[in-house]
Structure 1
Amino acid sequence: MVVIKGDTLLEEWSYTMLSALFFTLAYYSYVSLKRRFDTLYGSRELFLKRIIHGMVYIIFLVLIQEAIRVRTANVVEAQVLEIIALIILSAVGVAIFIDIFLSVVWFLKTRR
């Protein structure tokens, strides 16, 4: 029989709630970004520019993560802060990466 302390259960619950909150915030920020991409780069002539702009966003997310890592180098709870930042940035980054992939596939299909 596994015995879970009350504090451990509370920690697990708080990590679950924080990750759900961060994923929700990241999803809605991606939806906002996607709407902006669709309005700016919706036409066929600007589709390649949309792909490049998405790659720049991915690079920007990597730079944000590195800045958080450097800034929290001397903090005791740095590992927890980095995990929270990775959850947020990866939720946005994966969605943008999928958008880039689908944009490349659509761009290659329409060029034939």
Structure 2
Amino acid sequence: MKHSKIQSDGAILLSTFPDEKSLIRLCKVLVADKRLCACVNYTKINSLYTWENELKQEEEFLAIFKTTSKLIDALKTEITVNHPYQIPEIIVLSMKDVSSDYMLWLVNNTRTT
């Protein structure tokens, strides 16, 4: 493992999507075109929540976006503007104790500004 100091911190953004198609469409733009995140993991989940005073139980897709702290605001904006939900779930977590090899990969696979 490399022990060099990486000059960036990692961030994780969590968001849910109503279907796989809308998730994949946005993720391709964010990862390949705009390089705002290096990786997106996603899986189907079951959600229970209230919406407009009504209890809902739905299948959704949970997406885990991995990026740098320098890009998190741009990523949040891009997801908010292009998200299919009226009020998208956007939760940001800081990465801690990340291996230097992984952090180097993350930085090298996202844009610098």
TM-score category (smaller protein): under 0.3
The TM-score with structure 1 as length reference comes to 0.26
- Which one has the largest radius of gyration? 1
- The two structures have a TM-score, normalised by structure 2, of 0.26
Please identify which structure carries the higher helix content. Answer: 1
More strand by share: 2
